[in-house]
Amino acid sequence: MRLASASPVLIEAGDSPGDAPHLAGRFDARRLLVPLLSAGVPATSDQVRVAASLARASGATLYAVDPTTAVDRSTTVHGADLATDGERDLLDWAVGNDTPSASHTEMGLLYTHRLANGLLRSVDRHDIDTIVLPGTVGSGLLNRGLAERLALHADCDVITVSGECGYERVPSILLAVAGGPHSGLATDVAGRIAADCDAWVDVFHVVDEDAPPDRRRRAETQVAAAARRIGRPDSTSTRVAEAKIAAEAIITQSGYYGLTVVGAPTTGRLRRFLAGSTNRTVRDNARSVVLSVRAD
């Protein structure tokens, strides 16, 4: 089902070289890791459901672990086994009485360091392709420190689930496609979830209001390439739009969709400063669940 009256505007994170569409990265995960880090049941539920959708659509193995306790608490399921009953059992397990408490996530930088190192070892031990993180772990400093350490050091793709909780129903997906190292991965992730949820995907790209005609043509080529890559022409649309304040436009329009997918900030200090603030603002204020996707 597609939500009506949606007229979203998305950010352009960078120009593509030349006239060719730049959709870098690819989602081909066979093993996904879901660390149960959030004390909030809604956040944990969204994290697990997103991972379950990706595992089911890809036939991947899903490893769910609780790294916040000294007890070895983990479970493994296969994508093909994640029917409705299987996903419900996984959710019941993940949000049970042993869900991480707030005290675990307020122990400071030393604890963050140890927690990150433990997760990095899990990535190596299980040969993980993708790690699915909750957007909120603990205090702001701890949250950023853990997410940044995993993104920088994990030898895998990283998907962060944040925004407004409520992944249970995803009738439509807002996909921001822009030139950068994560655009292809973001496109694949949106396409896999759309296939699992039978959701509509709107692929959008923003150019500046004063952009020259050749820039607009490249943008149109880029969204068309993303739509072809998703491979569901009867339930995918494209649009190139204009905007001055991209973050506000994305936040406003995200309410029309069950899920918003964006690429992570590009690498480099200057690019992180310019693009990272928009990414963080959308993740913190969007009116739908947001997936921030970072390719390895």
Contact 153, 219 (CB under 8 A): no
3-state secondary structure of 230: helix
Confidence of residue 136 (pLDDT cuts 50, 70, 90): low
3-state secondary structure of 49: helix
The count of structural domains within the chain is 2
pLDDT beyond 60 at 52: yes
pLDDT beyond 90 at 173: yes
Query: Residues 154, 37: one domain?
Result: yes
| Percent of the chain's residues with pLDDT above 70 | 76
Query: Residues 134, 101: one domain?
Result: yes
Confidence of residue 267 (pLDDT cuts 50, 70, 90): low
How far CA 146 is from CA of 69, 136, 142, in Å, comes to 16, 10, 6
3-state secondary structure of 240: strand
Query: Residues 179, 149: one domain?
Result: no
Whether 38 is covered by a domain: the verdict is yes
User: In which domain, by residue range, is 102 found?
Assistant: 31-161
At 176-208, the pLDDT tens digits run 887 677 889 999 999 999 999 999 999 988 778
For the chain, report the end-to-end CA distance as a whole number of angstroms: 33
Query: Residues 192, 283: one domain?
Result: yes
pLDDT beyond 50 at 123: yes
| Percent of the chain's residues with pLDDT above 90 | 26
Comparing 2 with 35, the larger pLDDT belongs to: 35
Q: Report CA torsion sign: 37, 43, 47, 48.
A: positive
3-state secondary structure of 182: coil
Alpha-carbon distance of 26 to 5, in angstroms, equals 31
How far CA 134 is from CA of 32, 245, 250, in Å, comes to 14, 27, 20
At 202-237, the pLDDT tens digits run 998 877 878 788 888 888 998 899 999 999 999 999
Whether 17 is covered by a domain: the verdict is no
Query: Residues 97, 121: one domain?
Result: yes
pLDDT of residue 227: 94
Q: Can you give 156-180 as a three-state secondary structure string? A: CEEEEEEECCCCCCCCEEEEECCCC
Contact 147, 160 (CB under 8 A): yes
157-163 vs 130-134, strand pairing mode: parallel
Whether 129 is covered by a domain: the verdict is yes
